[in-house]
Amino acid sequence: MSNDCIFCKIIAGEIPSTQVYQDEQVTAFRDINPAAPTHILIVPNKHIASVNDLVPKDEILVGHLFTVARKIATQEGIATSGYRLIINHGPDGGQEVYHLHLHLLGGQKMRHKMG
């Protein structure tokens, strides 16, 4: 845990959030500035600043982020209609909080096609 990281403080319960899921590896909560009707952040409980800070032993944890995303999409009723998963890295990639996190966006047709 990083003492100055807002996501670490949310995971520890020091800052309130609207939590939708938590287990021993990850915590998921609603984004306070949603970009879609469903906008949930899925974060590892272990502080990892960014994608560039991942090491081989984190591979299982990163896979778990994605399986939790699928579980939450089902729970939120957007698994069938579709959703978007985004990880931003660095200032040019739009990363604002330096704690690795996965954005789960859904509940509407996404406006920008990615590929």
Nearest 5°: CA angle at 23, between 79 and 15? 100
The distance in angstroms from the start CA to the end CA of the chain is 36
| Pairwise CA distance, residues 66 & 42, whole Å | 9
* H or E element in which residue 42 lies: strand 38-44
| 103: amino acid identity, one letter | H
Residues acting as catalytic residues: 101
Distance of alpha carbon 54 from alpha carbon 64, whole angstroms: 14
Tell me how far apart the alpha carbons of residues 13 and 65 are, in angstroms, rounded to a whole number: 20
